[in-house]
Amino acid sequence: MNQSPPLPSSEDYQPVSTERLAFVASDTDEAQKARLELSHRYGNVPAENADVIVALGGDGLMLQTLHRFMGSGKPIYGMNRGSVGFLMNEYRDDDLKERLARADVTTIRPLEMTATCEDGKPHTALAINEVSLLRQTSQAARLRISVDGRTRLEELVCDGIIVATPAGSTAYNLSAHGPILPITAQLLALTPISAFRPRRWRGALLPNWAQVDIEILDAAKRPVSASADHTEIRRVTHVTVREATDAQGVIMFDSDHGWDERILTEMFRY
């Protein structure tokens, strides 16, 4: 399979205009209050007319906003007004336009999941963090794992499996003891969830242009669901995961605490 073209680096971007800002917020009182205060101070244009979209909430809102504006080229800058904020910058209401002008810009490319159900109908969804497969009942899932058309695990008995991007490697993947990936790494993490057989298998690192096919064995007796971020498909029989080549999102981080620094901090957390 051909290697995906490299994503643009922060050096490839022209300075971001900060004249027109659009503010989006989660439903919490804290986030809504921040949206009103910032809108009054900096103005708030419709998202389609904005130079930068400022997301106020937690990581869940950030993922929703990235999905919503995927492929638009509009950079998303998050400020934490939620419970989880790995994708978010520190909330401050002063000097916002100066922070945006100095911010690092990172492009991320999502995964494309194609999940086939029992009726043979395929469903497609994008995932910025990860594609995860999970058993639906008390019985463990039985999965056959292939990479680029070659079977690598004839049978994996487990609670599930995760295919994570660098952006998502510190989320569910990390909770399942998967590796943390630098944001610029051209890699995907393939991480089992509570593997029973082979018991010692801890997963794999794959090039980001690899295609992963997961066949659900004994799907009627041992049903499995597949999720691409917030999109869940129940009772799947086969799932294909690969990096999307025609979709990308743009995210901004404060220059003094960019993504690389966040990743390194997480790697040395104990």
Tens of each residue's pLDDT in the chain, 270 residues: 456 555 544 444 456 788 899 999 999 999 999 999 999 999 999 999 999 999 999 999 999 999 999 999 999 999 999 877 788 999 999 999 999 999 999 888 999 999 999 999 999 999 999 999 999 999 999 999 999 999 999 999 999 999 999 989 999 999 999 999 988 889 999 999 999 999 889 999 999 999 999 999 999 999 999 999 999 999 999 999 999 988 999 999 998 877 777 777 777 876
Asked whether residue 171 is marked as a ligand-binding residue, the answer is: yes
Asked whether residue 143 is marked as a ligand-binding residue, the answer is: no
CA distance 216 to 240: 11
Note the pLDDT of residue 14.
54
Backbone dihedral angles phi then psi of residue 83, each to the nearest 5 degrees: -85, -25
Architecture of domain 111-243: Sandwich (2.60)
Asked whether residue 187 is marked as a ligand-binding residue, the answer is: no
Cβ neighbour number for residue 205 with a 10 Å cutoff: 14
119 is catalytic: no
- Positions of CATH 3.40.50.10330 in the chain: 10-109+248-267
The CATH code that applies to domain 10-109+248-267 is 3.40.50.10330
Note the pLDDT of residue 130.
97
Asked whether residue 227 is marked as a ligand-binding residue, the answer is: no
Sheet strands side by side (includes 141-147): 122-127, 111-117, 236-243, 212-217, 141-147, 150-158
Burial degree of 221 (CB within 10 A; 0-12, 13-18, 19+) = exposed
Token pair in block for residue 63? 């993922």
Asked whether residue 208 is marked as a ligand-binding residue, the answer is: no
CA distance 246 to 74: 15
Catalytic residue among 12, 29, 51, 59: 59
Note the pLDDT of residue 268.
84
Q: Show the CA angle centred on residue 110, arms to residues 58 and 32, nearest 5°.
A: 20
Note the pLDDT of residue 191.
98
Amino acid of residue 250: V
- Positions of CATH 2.60.200.30 in the chain: 111-243
Note the pLDDT of residue 10.
45
